[in-house]
Amino acid sequence: MIRIIMLGAPGSGKGTQAQLLSKYFLIPFISAGEILRQEIKKNDKTKNYIQNTINKGKLVKNSFIIQLIKKKIKKKKYCNGFILDGFPRTIEQAESLKKNINIQYIIYLKIKHDSIINRIQGRLIHEPSGRTYHKIFNPPKQKNKDDITGELLHKRKDDNKKIILTRLKEYEKYTKPLIKWFRKEIKKNKIKLLEINSNKSITDINKKIIHYINNFKK
Ligand code: AMP
């Protein structure tokens, strides 16, 4: 059983690393942002609320995302562990997670804000599956096409300069304080925290994370 949380600013590579770790450890990953984007497609009464909030770069209400994540992690698919990308993003979300499950590893990807804008602007997504790519750092095999289905890739609407500035403000205000919260938790519980500089290559970062986790599993 491995449960991993990916922490870091938007564009720090959480999603990319979560996808690679998922392949290596053979456990599924859960992306909070992706759950919300899939909810928008369901066309029910919360569609406009989610879409407007994401497109402003703001965080959705705690109670809203908590309820979606709780429902998700109860599914059988996740009973042997999972990698959480984009949740928790606030202390309230972390408190609620703590009440429901134990987490073993926290991977905190550190990045300078000026690198984030460049990274985010080259990002591409395969909308039906949520698979992500980057034009330069993680290109698809065929230009602008998903590696698995061959379908077209798109740029996320909230991956633009103006919105990313709001997303970074939200990160500083709500998510950064979580690191301190987790540091206290680490002392009390048996959580392991790995902090990595995210300016290294995707492969280097991935190797470091795998090495770190495997050392504990021995
Ligand atoms: P992401 O795909 O992780 O970049 O998330 C995209 C957007 O979804 C964020 O900018 C928020 O608007 C929303 N979102 C994702 N995760 C959360 C969360 N844990 N709490 C609140 N809002 C979230």
Do residues 41 and 131 make contact, with C-beta atoms less than 8 angstroms apart?
A: no
- Pocket (CB within 6 angstroms of ligand 1): 10, 32-33, 36, 53-54, 57-60, 65, 86-87, 89, 93, 158, 167
Ramachandran angles phi, psi of 189, nearest 5°: -110, -175
Spatial CA neighbour of 198 closest among 121, 139, 112:
112
Q: Whose CA is nearest to atom 1 of ligand 1?
A: 33
CB 62: neighbour CB atoms within 10 A?
A: 17
* Residue 95 alpha carbon to ligand 1 centre in Å: 17
CB 107: neighbour CB atoms within 10 A?
A: 25
pLDDT score at 42:
86
pLDDT tens for 39-63 read: 998 878 899 999 999 999 999 999 9
Q: 101 falls in which pLDDT band (50, 70, 90)?
A: confident
- The ranges assigned to domains in the chain are 2-113+174-217
Q: For the structural domain made of 2-113+174-217, what CATH number should be given?
A: 3.40.50.300
pLDDT of 176 strictly over 90 = yes
CB 24: neighbour CB atoms within 10 A?
A: 13
Q: Is the pTM of the predicted complex or chain greater than 0.85?
A: yes
Calculate helix-pair angle for 62-73, 32-41, nearest 10 degrees. Answer: 100
